[in-house]
Amino acid sequence: MKKFDYILLVIFLLLISIGLFTLNSAVDTVKGGETILKKQVIWVFVGLIAGFFVYRTNYRVLIEISPILFISSLLMLIAVLIFGNKIHGARSWINLGGFTLQPSEPVKIAVILMFANLIKRHKGKLLHFSILIKIGLYLGLPVVLILLQPDFGTASTYMAMIGGGLFVLGLPKKVIIGGIIVIILGGIVSWSFLFKPYQKERIYTFFNPERDKLGHGYQVIQAKVAVGSGGIFGKGYKLGTQCRLKYLPEPETDFIFAVFAEENGLLGVAIVLLLFFLLISRIINIARVAYDKKGMLIAVMVASILFYQVTVSTGMIVGLIPTTGIPLPFFSYGGSGTVTYIIMIALVLNVYRRRHISY
């Protein structure tokens, strides 16, 4: 039997290449665009090297050492709250001399592994209450710390990832019902007390972008114009006027797919969406064939978070989802994220490689 999922690797490499090309176009008009691109290429290589080591190390070993990773993660998240740089109103970045690290990205790996650690001895079709509380207590911590930054977008990716894991592992009916109630109540409470005005504003404008044509609605309208004006075949590489003329906000990060859609049209969009779908399908397949529940969980969580980020990032720019600053994996600029996503791919390949071995 095959030890390696070449299809997954090819899809991944295609995506990361298309991502780099798109970034090259997107940063053309951004100040210091060349350095952004260079840095991103370096980060891809850093990610590939890190990924190689993650791939080589048996994932069960990684799960065993996950408590250490998890504790250091929590420390990083606390450190960023104290020493972090405030950018766009959130304390998410920490300066580490040569570069800035966004701890909430690599912590995703630690959370995946920690989750697997917590359920390694669990048996049965559904999760027990005791273990659910344990999961909630442990994994809730980093989410709360990220919410404190406050970075609602990144926190939501954790919830999606953990949610995906919980769904596959199986939740008791009472918990599901209770969960729904808690979510509704929590929604009401956070809407009334926790949400910042700008977050509320974004949700209002999601339902009616015209409401705020020059504010938050402006971003969505301009992104939609970018995407729509791309047509079937697109305006051509580096020829997207919406991006060139700076109508698109943050073209190198959150709005990068609008740049892509404008320049490559529906044809390009269809290819990239298909590639992402195939990538996620392959990862789901790995979950299906994994040797143990731990491996399955890792694949499901990786599939969930990639699925969530892709959907939100591409859905936001076409007005399907309220604007949330979530990067598109393999496309958006950002060292911490890029390395993290590559490691995730390495992790699932790791699970695939050891799908017949119990140790």
Helix, strand, or coil (residue 102): coil
Instruction: Determine the number of helices (DSSP H) and then strands (DSSP E) in the chain.
Output: 14, 3
Instruction: Give me 74's structure tokens.
Output: 């929590």
Tally Cβ neighbours within 10 Å of residue 131.
15
Phi-psi region of 101 (alpha: psi -120 to 50; beta: other; left: phi over 0): beta
We find the least distance from the C-beta atom of residue 240 to another protein, in angstroms, to be: 9
Half-sphere exposure of 217 (CA within 13 A, CB side): 11
β-strands 90-96, 85-87 pairing:
antiparallel
We find the least distance from the C-beta atom of residue 345 to another protein, in angstroms, to be: 17
| Distances from the Cα of 100 to the Cα of 93, 94, 337, angstroms | 6, 5, 12
Residues 286, 287, 289, 295, Cα dihedral to 10°: 100
Taking the least distance from each CB to another protein, the nearer of 65 and 245 is 245
Write the burial class of residue 166 (CB in 10 Å: 0-12 exposed, 13-18 middle, 19+ buried). Answer: buried
DSSP 84: P
Chain positions contacting another protein, by CB under 8 A: 123, 125, 164, 167-170, 222, 224-232, 241-242, 244-247, 261, 265-266, 269-270, 273, 276-277, 280-281, 284, 287-293, 296, 300, 303-304, 307, 311, 314-315, 318, 320
Instruction: Report yes or no: 33 and 27 within 8 Å, Cβ to Cβ.
Output: yes
Burial per residue of 275-314, b for 16 or more beta-carbon CB atoms within 10 angstroms, e otherwise: bbebbbebbbbbbeebbbbbbbbbbbbbbbbbbbbbbbbb
Half-sphere exposure of 280 (CA within 13 A, CB side): 17
Taking the least distance from each CB to another protein, the nearer of 45 and 277 is 277
Amino acid (1-letter code) at residue 170? G
